[in-house]
């Protein structure tokens, strides 16, 4: 069977969930070959093998951390040359898209971004995209070259499929022209202990209705009772009530959890663009006319400061 390159997103060898989803989708179109750039490939390989990677191509070079994006493109291109894959899959992060785009130019291929599903077709893999703030579903394919496709988190449930996952070293030469953008310093984000926003099964978001940073603990308490991630609208972020990394929407994170709870959020098109593919949508808003109610499976018209704490208590009681 044809091989499919899967770009591994990891933090020091801890593979992130979207990569396991990519491996699951890759198996529909061929044999997944994972490309691990950076440290701790051996550790990552165990998880990658459990999820179907027949091989892990590994390379570590200081340039991956010292310069932005381009050295990783050199490495992925080396993997491409070594394997001649049927497709290249990457996660739809800002970096994943940029790496994919530059590789596409180098290998003369088309690129599809933000796929939410992938299936094999007569003329190559067919990608499903959810576009125009999820008001349309499109099906597309790459018609020139080897398909380069980036896939959104939560697009597939990771499946176990044990494979060899043999680690092979990949020889990479980083071109001088790839050392153009220096990473002068890097400040890692502090972990909140809550699930990663894009990967979470449940997301609880607060908007302008939360009315102040000092009130966000009301949202956090509900999130914690449900084991959920916390999101925020841009209005809440711009007001400085919550970090930008938690923004959901067109210019924030795009989420597609099993359950999305919006409290004090009106449902502007740019917010909807980031959450409309959620499986179940719930809103709490005191304005019965708020556009968010057009999307909901369940809505409560009411003051969030009454409804949210009551819900939190009820969740805690039921969970014992």
Ligand X SMILES: Cc1cc2nc3c(=O)[nH]c(=O)nc-3n(C[C@H](O)[C@H](O)[C@H](O)COP(=O)(O)OP(=O)(O)OC[C@H]3O[C@@H](n4cnc5c(N)ncnc54)[C@H](O)[C@@H]3O)c2cc1C
Residues of span 2-31 touching another protein by CB under 8 A: 11
Q: Is 139 in the site for another protein (CB under 8 A)?
A: yes
Q: Which is nearer to ligand X, 225 or 254 (CB)?
A: 254
Count of residues in contact with another protein, rule CB under 8 A: 90
Query: Using CA atoms, how far apart are residues 207 and 286, in angstroms rounded to an integer?
Result: 12
Q: First CA to last CA across the chain, in angstroms?
A: 50
Angle between helices 70-83 and 94-107 (to 10 degrees): 50
- Distance in angstroms (rounded) separating the CA atoms of residues 163 and 31: 10
Rounded-to-integer distance, Cα 113 and Cα 93, Å: 10
Nearest distance, CB of residue 74 and ligand X, angstroms: 22
Residue 243 Cβ vs another protein, minimum distance, rounded to whole Å: 9
Distance CA 74, CA 79 (A): 9
Dihedrals φ, ψ of 275, to 5°? -140, 0
73-102 binders of another protein (CB under 8 A): 73, 93-95, 97-102
Q: Which does 266 bind (CB under 5 to 8 A by kind): another protein, ligand X, none?
A: ligand X
Contacting residues for 57 by C-beta, under 8 A, at least 6 apart: 33, 34, 35, 36, 79, 82, 83, 168, 169, 170
Quick one: 1 or 136, whose CB is closer to another protein?
136
Q: Which span sits near another protein by CB under 8 A: 28-36, 38-46, 69-77, 80-88?
A: 69-77
Interface ranges with ligand X (CB under 6 A):
110-113, 131-132, 140, 207-209, 233-236, 247-252, 264-266, 268, 270-271, 274, 284-287, 290, 303-305
Give the residue with the Cβ less far from another protein, 1 or 193. 193
- Name the DSSP letter for residue 30: S
Q: Does 265 engage in binding with another protein (CB under 8 A)?
A: no
What is the x/- site pattern for another protein, positions 278-307, by CB under 8 A?
Answer: --xxx-x---x----xxxxxxxxxxx--xx
Beta bridge partners of 119: 126
């Amino acid at each position: 069977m044809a091989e499919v390159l899967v770009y591994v997103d990891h933090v020091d060898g801890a593979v992130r969930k979207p990569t396991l989803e990519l491996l699951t989708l890759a198996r529909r179109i061929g044999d997944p070959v994972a490309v691990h750039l950076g440290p701790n490939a051996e550790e990552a390989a165990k998880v990658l093998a459990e999820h179907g990677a027949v091989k892990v191509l590994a390379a570590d070079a200081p340039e991956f951390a010292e310069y932005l994006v381009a050295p990783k493109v050199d490495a992925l291109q080396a993997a491409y040359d070594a394997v001649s894959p049927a497709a290249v899959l990457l996660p739809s992060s800002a970096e994943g898209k940029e790496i994919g785009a530059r590789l596409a130019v180098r290998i003369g291929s088309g690129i599809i971004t933000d796929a939410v599903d992938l299936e094999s077709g007569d003329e190559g893999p067919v990608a499903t995209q959810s576009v125009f703030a999820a008001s349309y579903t499109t099906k597309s394919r790459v018609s020139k070259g080897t398909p380069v496709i980036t896939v959104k988190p939560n697009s597939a449930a990771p499946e176990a499929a044990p494979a060899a996952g043999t680690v092979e070293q990949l020889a990479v030469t980083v071109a001088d022209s790839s050392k153009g953008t220096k990473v002068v310093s890097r400040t890692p984000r502090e972990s909140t202990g809550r699930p990663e926003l894009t990967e979470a099964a449940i997301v609880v978001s607060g908007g302008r209705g939360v009315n102040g940073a000092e009130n966000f603990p009301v949202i956090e308490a509900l999130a914690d009772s449900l084991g959920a991630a916390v999101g925020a609208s841009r209005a809440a972020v711009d007001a400085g009530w919550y970090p930008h990394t938690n923004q959901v929407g067109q210019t924030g994170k795009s989420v597609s959890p099993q359950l999305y709870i919006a409290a004090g959020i009106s449902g502007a098109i740019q917010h909807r663009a980031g959450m409309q593919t959620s499986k179940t949508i719930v809103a709490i808003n005191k304005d019965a006319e708020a556009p968010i109610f057009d999307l909901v499976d369940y809505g409560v018209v009411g003051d969030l400061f009454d409804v949210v704490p009551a819900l939190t208590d009820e969740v805690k009681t039921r969970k014992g």
